[in-house]
Amino acid sequence: MGRTPYKLAFAALAAVDKSTFAMAPYLLYETLGPTLPDGARSAAVLWALAQRIAKEYPTAMRRAGHPSADALFNAMLGGRSGITFTEDEYADAWNHVSHPGHRIPLPIPELLGLLADLDTTPAVHTSDDFPIVLAAGQRRAFTANTIFRDHTWRKRDQQGTLRVSPHDAERLGLSDGALARMTTSRGTAQAVVEIDARLQPGHAALPNGFGLDLPTKDGATDRVGVALNTLTNLTWRDPIAGTPWHKHVPARIEPLPS
């Protein structure tokens, strides 16, 4: 009988109870899944995807060699390393633009509002309390995106130093290799100072990927460097994308007693 009766039963259930769509992955796994060959039960959810492709892109699906949704699903089951499920022609590209008239709207109202306010938007975000621009997440030769691994993999900068300019080091009384405390509107942290002539006065930088609590052999934990989210404020972010301004965190830096 094939899967046609199953398709009709599933469609009838969805017509009566709209919550069927929300539970579809589970229902497919428990009903269609056990009938699939070679232990492919978890692939049952692809059956729904094949139905959708057949409904929305029938010509492109047939062009790729699949005369029906069931044929496409069978190809998915057999093509464990992937298959071509649709094949578009160049003229089809604009059909994938969902806006009216298949046109891309260039104006972004939120962005236009920000552009209109540029003349009155403050260009300086530091203050007397937080006079330094801290780049909280500088890429360095031995940084990684908070990957848990032994500290010894880093050949340089094993402590995750706070880099400051020679001008600021002299002005603030910071010494190379000494400890300093950083304070932002979010919190405080300590780091080893590294004086770096590549930084401009008024700027400092901490590396990304530090501040993880890693287990030690005696069952305790060891933390190296600064966990940057202890210094960054979730409200200090791009108003459209919501991305935090990690590279521009107003901060105060002061030396710690040796």
Beta strands 162-164 and 179-183 are unpaired
Contact 174, 162 (CB under 8 A): no
Beta strands 188-195 and 132-138 are unpaired
Our CA dihedral for 69, 74, 78, 80, rounded to 10 degrees, sits at: 40
Is 232 part of a structural domain of the chain?
A: yes
Q: Which residues contact 200 (CB under 8 A, 6 or more apart)?
A: 165
| Distance, CA of 178 to CA of 39 (rounded, Å) | 60
pLDDT in tens, 103-113: 888 888 888 98
- Do 149 and 245 have their domain in common? yes
Instruction: Please give the residue range of the domain that contains residue 147.
Output: 127-255
Is 80 part of a structural domain of the chain?
A: yes
Can you give the CATH number for the domain in which 193 is found? 2.40.40.20
- Tokens for 31, please give them: 């009903």
pLDDT band at 1 (very low <50, low <70, confident <90, very high): low
- Do 87 and 131 have their domain in common? no
* Number of continuous H segments (helices) and E segments (strands) in the chain: 7, 8
- Do 68 and 131 have their domain in common? no
* Cα 80-81-84 angle, rounded to 5 deg: 100
pLDDT in tens, 177-229: 999 999 999 999 999 999 999 999 999 999 998 888 888 888 888 888 899 99
How many domains, in total, are found in the chain?
2
Q: With 80 as the cut, is the pLDDT of residue 146 above it?
A: no
- Do 90 and 188 have their domain in common? no
